[in-house]
Structure 1
C-alpha cells in the first residue's frame, strides 16, 4: 500500500515541477532580460516492469533529468 503511494507521488513531482517552471515563465514574460527555463524528462524503467509489460504497452516512471535556462539572444 505504502509503495503504491510512493509511486504515485514520484509521478506527481515531475508534473508539479514542470507546472512551476511554466508558471514562472509566464509570470516573467514581459520582464526585461528574462530567460525562460525548460524541463527535460527521462523515463526510469524498473527491470521487473520490463519483464511484466505487454508488448506495445508503455511502462515506467518519469523523472526530471534537468532544468535548463535558454540563454539565446532575445529580439
Structure 2
C-alpha cells in the first residue's frame, strides 16, 4: 500500500503534463523510435491495473463514509 501511495502521489496532473505519459511507460516518441518490449509492457500494465484497483477500493471506502455521514446528517435535520 505504501508503494501505491507513493506512485499515486507522483501522478499529479502537473507531472503527467510534463512527461506526457504515465510513469513506467515509454513516451509515444520513444515507443515509435525504439519499439516496445511486450513482456515488459504487460508487467507495467498489470502493475497499473493493480494500482487502479487499490485506488478504486479506497475511493469506495470514502464514498461509503460520506454516504453514512450524509444519512446521519439527514436524520438530524429531519428530527
TM-score normalised by length of structure 2:
0.36
Larger Rg: 2
Relative to its length, the structure with more helix (as a share) is 2
Identify which of structures 1 and 2 has the higher relative contact order when contacts are C-alpha pairs closer than 8 Å and 6+ apart.
Answer: 1
* Greater strand content: 1
